[in-house]
Structure 1
């Protein structure tokens, strides 16, 4: 299906795993968590239970490293039948602190793409997660000046995007969203009659995965690198 981008005036970008590496650190943390709790359960069982705890806590804690760390703490207590050692709990907290102190690793071509597109379009950052952590990563990234507006959302559903576009007086037909998650960055925008481009990252959190049935008949484009945007839009 051919998609026309001629009327696009504003481009929204996701942050984590679209502009910089993020999910890889969570996968590494899960492995470390599994090693710390290996006396109590198998790695597969630990991973499953941690994921269940994260989903259970989403409404209360939201997204991000701090929420993930709290879920690790709760999972460790429950899986060990509250016998986990204080040193192990300290190690779990240190996993979270290490994640928060990670350097920001930009994906290939990100700054060149933003620099080029910002000359022709208004760019906004629309990400979700912990506000303080996202602000920290954005500052470390050196990308702040390319964005006309920055928004950290609690969720990325149609209602959240609709409120954002309305507040910025952006017509959905003139808006393009670019991100790595079909669930959070693509399908909600397509449903709002905006445009969306999917840039897959090599690993995706299970909660962000969608079925073929959910994407069937939806008009969006998939590219393999953010640099392909320059060929599409310029």
Structure 2
């Protein structure tokens, strides 16, 4: 076996094992957890990892095009259900869940849209045997960034071994997106979820990449190039390319609308 084969095998083991370990951690941290999953939110969503009942329930939602996971992917926001069998927002899903003789009562769920991807979020869905509590939701908020970043790593590694400069660039773009979210939270006095959705909507409306819009927003509001990570930590690979004209135009329009809202 060549060195390349060894690296490839290690990478393939690392991806599923990393996500599975993180999902198992979440199940251990949240009492009454029946299942957890991570899936992409693209036009043709893919299940990245799952545990417990999540795989079956995510598949059912995709088939019916209905439910909290589908809603979070489409609307780029978090959504919860106290009982999927009695939730009139998704009647087809409620009927299908009710027909399951072995279903827990209640079968609750909460789905959260993460923020690492240019085209949209990775969706983290949690299934519970009780209505989500404030403590459950706090745990989700704490682990979601780690899950989203881990999913990004696995996705980047799916076709080729991740190079150091690719990893640095990925981390930097996520950091700039978080910086732009913070600026929007300040001007709109909103939560992180609403701020991220504002970025996504503007990105889609003006047809610019989310990361480019974030860079342009940070440059516009900060009146300077987007902040770069300390060179002594990341070297010259940490540099973020300046925003292009289209992204700057989109950031100007978005920021004006936010300030006037």
Q: Give me the TM-score of the superposition, normalised by structure 1.
A: 0.31
Greater helix fraction, Structure 1 or Structure 2: 2
More relative contact order, 1 or 2 (CA 8 Å, 6+ apart): 1
TM-score by length of 2: 0.29
